[in-house]
């Protein structure tokens, strides 16, 4: 981000200009994060779905959710916000599902030295609380990170078009709803022949998830043939924890996969990177099962993700799986573990 050349310097200058205009407009005083709209980059063709944050006075920002996957993450977090409080859900919301670019307005102390270096090199000056632009890429399972050139371009377009939309909503609070009244549609800003206009847009559905990893059928057959007794109930979940692991170029959030009995005693714990978790978690669960002399009568999972991990193994062994979001023993354990990992 430092030592900018002429090309990158102009990109960053344009981004900061757009951010300052958006900040000074302060659209969060009349818009809410539920007022979704989109913008399409004329350079890359990518769509960002925009939400203005700040109506509660806690954070002032524009979030740009990237494509259908980013939008699905937004809806998932919105659904979780309406549910009763849960430590596991809160952690997963922070660490697990955001795929977006964010332009927020912070105090100087919140900026990294690399952010300050860019501001200095561009000859910009900011002063005061919530006045300093901060730009980050949010990716599921990773710490917020610095922008690459294509992301700078996309976020610049989003800020510029968000300013246009916000001004229209200020004049007419029902502006977005009047243009796109159907439930599954929203307003999308597109550029045609260098002129920006609104179109009614239906977001594309998220693609099919990757198929589950293959199970070790030989090991599974051995466990089934052993005829082990079954008693008690086990609890488990699959939760990204916002306690950064600093390995590689970009720090990441680990995923924890604990197994507890119905009295809250920890029987097993896996801590994995987000990269390896989708394939490793089912394998490790099967390996753990293979070591047990007694299997559970039932397994209660706290999320669909956890159900997907344990489901094939449990089905083959005749162990019923139930989803139940309210699991206080798991909440207590995850909260303590998150605090430990964050030290």
Write a three-state SS string for 96-152. CCCCEEEEEEECHHHCCHHHHHHHHHCCCCCCCCCCEEEEEEECCCECCECCCHHHH
Cα separations (Å) of 59 from 15, 66, 130, 134?
A: 19, 20, 8, 12
Does any domain span residue 210?
Answer: no
**Same-domain pairing of 87 and 171:** yes
> Domain check: are 258 and 152 in the same one?
no
Question: Are 197 and 115 part of one and the same domain?
Answer: yes
Are residues 92 and 227 both part of a single domain? no
Tell me the whole-structure pTM to 2 decimals: 0.83
pLDDT attached to residue 338: 76
What is the signed CA dihedral for 297, 289, 244, 308, rounded to 10 degrees? Answer: -60
**In terms of domains, do 243 and 337 share one?**
yes
Is 295:228 a contact under the CB 8 Å cutoff? yes
What's the half-sphere exposure (Cβ side, CA atoms, 13 Å) at 6?
0
Within a domain: 59: yes
- Domain end call among 139, 169, 201: 201
Q: Are residues 21 and 117 in the same domain?
A: yes
| Burial of 48 from C-beta contacts in 10 A (0-12 / 13-18 / 19+) | buried
- The answer to whether 159 and 15 have CB atoms below 8 angstroms apart is yes
The tokens 């981004």 sit on which residue?
Answer: 15
Number of domains in the chain: 2
Phi, psi of 207, rounded to the nearest 5 degrees: -65, 165
Q: Which of 147, 169, 201 is the last residue of a domain?
A: 201
CATH of the domain at 255: 3.30.420.230
Residue 52 located in a structural domain: yes
Domain assignment present for residue 44? The answer is: yes
User: Does 94 map to a domain?
Assistant: yes
d(CA 339, CA 343): 7
Q: What angle do CA 333, 263, 332 make, to 5 degrees?
A: 20
In this prediction, residue 248 carries a pLDDT of 80
| pLDDT value for 87 | 53
What's the Cα-to-Cα distance from 45 to each of 145, 153, 167, rounded to whole Å?
A: 23, 11, 24
Tokens found for residue 267? 């029987």
Cα–Cα nearest to 334, from 272, 283, 266 = 266
Give me the helix-helix angle, 87-95 and 328-341, nearest 10°. 50
11 neighbors 148 (Cβ within 8 angstroms):
no
The verdict on 149 and 92 lying in the same domain is yes
27 in a structural domain: yes
Residue 126 belongs to domain spanning: 6-201
Q: What are the φ/ψ torsions at residue 236 (nearest 5 degrees)?
A: -155, 160
- Does 1 reside within a domain? no
Q: State whether 162 and 82 are in the same domain.
A: yes
Do 164 and 34 lie in one domain? The reply is yes
Instruction: Verify that 252 and 138 share a domain, yes or no.
Output: no
Beta carbons within 8 Å of 294's beta carbon, 6+ residues apart: 228, 229, 230, 231, 232
287 plus 258 within the same structural domain: yes
DSSP 27: G
Q: Is residue 137 part of a domain?
A: yes
Domain C-terminal end among 177, 201, 225: 201
pLDDT in tens, the chain (343 residues): 556 666 689 999 999 999 999 999 999 999 999 999 999 999 888 999 999 999 999 899 999 999 999 999 898 877 765 555 555 555 555 555 689 999 999 999 999 999 999 999 999 999 999 999 999 999 988 889 999 999 999 999 999 999 999 999 999 999 999 999 998 999 999 999 899 999 999 999 887 777 778 889 999 999 999 989 999 999 999 888 877 888 888 888 888 999 999 999 999 999 988 878 888 999 999 999 999 999 999 999 998 889 988 999 999 999 999 999 889 999 899 888 877 876 7
* Whether residues 144 and 279 fall in one domain: no
Q: Tokens 């990204």: give the residue.
A: 240
Q: How far apart are CA 215 and CA 17, in angstroms?
A: 53
- Give the tokens for residue 299: 């397994």
């Amino acid at each position: 981000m430092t030592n900018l050349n002429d090309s990158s310097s102009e990109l960053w200058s344009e981004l900061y200009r757009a951010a300052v205009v958006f900040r000074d407009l302060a659209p969060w005083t009349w818009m809410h994060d539920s007022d979704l709209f989109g913008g399409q980059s004329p350079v890359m063709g990518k769509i960002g779905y925009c939400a203005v944050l700040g109506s509660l006075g806690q954070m002032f920002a524009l979030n740009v959710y990237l494509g259908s996957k980013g939008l699905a993450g937004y809806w998932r977090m919105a659904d979780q916000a309406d549910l009763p409080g849960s430590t596991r859900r809160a952690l997963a919301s922070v660490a697990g599902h955001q795929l977006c670019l964010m332009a927020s307005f912070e105090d100087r102390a919140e900026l990294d030295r690399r952010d300050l270096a860019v501001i200095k090199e561009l000859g910009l000056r900011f002063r005061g609380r919530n006045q300093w632009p901060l730009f980050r890429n949010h990716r599921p399972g990773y710490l917020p990170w610095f922008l690459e050139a294509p992301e700078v371009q996309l976020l610049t377009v989003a800020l510029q078009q968000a300013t246009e939309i916000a001004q229209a909503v200020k004049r007419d609070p029902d502006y977005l709803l009047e243009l796109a009244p159907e439930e599954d549609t929203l307003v999308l800003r597109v550029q045609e022949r260098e002129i920006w206009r609104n179109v009614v847009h239906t977001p594309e559905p998220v693609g099919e998830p990757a198929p589950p990893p293959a199970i070790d059928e030989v090991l599974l057959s051995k466990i089934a043939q052993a005829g082990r007794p079954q008693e008690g109930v086990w609890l488990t979940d699959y939760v990204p924890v916002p306690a950064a692991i600093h390995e590689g170029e970009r720090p990441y959030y680990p995923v924890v996969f604990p197994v507890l009995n119905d009295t809250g005693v920890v029987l097993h714990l896996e801590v994995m990177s987000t990269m390896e978790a989708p394939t490793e978690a089912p394998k490790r669960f099967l390996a753990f099962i293979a070591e047990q002399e007694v299997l559970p009568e039932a397994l209660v999972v706290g999320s669909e993700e956890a159900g997907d991990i344990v489901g094939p193994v449990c089905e083959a062994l005749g162990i019923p799986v139930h989803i139940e979001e309210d699991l206080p023993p798991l909440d207590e354990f995850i909260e303590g573990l998150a605090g430990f990992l964050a030290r």
